[in-house]
Amino acid sequence: MSKKAKPTPLTKLLKAWTGASPEERQAFLDLVTAEVRSKGEATASLSAKASDSPAPDPVMADHETLIANGRYLLPSTIARVEAVMRARSLSPTAIMAELGFSPRDTSLTRALAMKAALRLSVIAELALWLRANEALATRQG
């Protein structure tokens, strides 16, 4: 009796791609684009350091676009969300309601407190919400 061959990571990736929704595909492409851009800027940064001219910081360049690594919020994103929560006296469930999800959904609470995974749709909406609320905070402050 022969064993079934294990699928390669590429096979798994292709299967996941075909089963993904358009939003999930776009989120994946955005993540890959941001990583490629940051690697390109890091390479430029290394060559610029050799010539003693300042180069843009890849982390700061992606500050607005990259809020998560896959389905997990970055520590900097957690700090940004918590700063807006303090400024507006919001709870994570109130943020979920503002994002258009059920206020009984505790996934954002778990993501902030225990670094749990979030749905890609929540991450996409959170990125927009965060950008809008940080812009409001800077105008008011």
Query: What is the DSSP-derived secondary structure letter of residue 101?
Result: S
| The token pair that represents 84 in the structure block | 């807006």
Q: Which of 114, 107, 118, 22 is nearest to 68 (CA)?
A: 118
Q: Please give the model's pTM, rounded to 2 decimal places.
A: 0.55
| pLDDT tens-place string over residues 21-76 | 888 888 888 777 777 776 665 555 555 554 444 444 334 344 456 888 888 999 99
| pLDDT tens-place string over residues 17-28 | 888 888 888 888
Q: Which of 132, 47, 73 is nearest to 98 (CA)?
A: 132
Helix (H, G, I), strand (E, B) or coil at 51: coil
pLDDT, mean of residues 117-128: 92
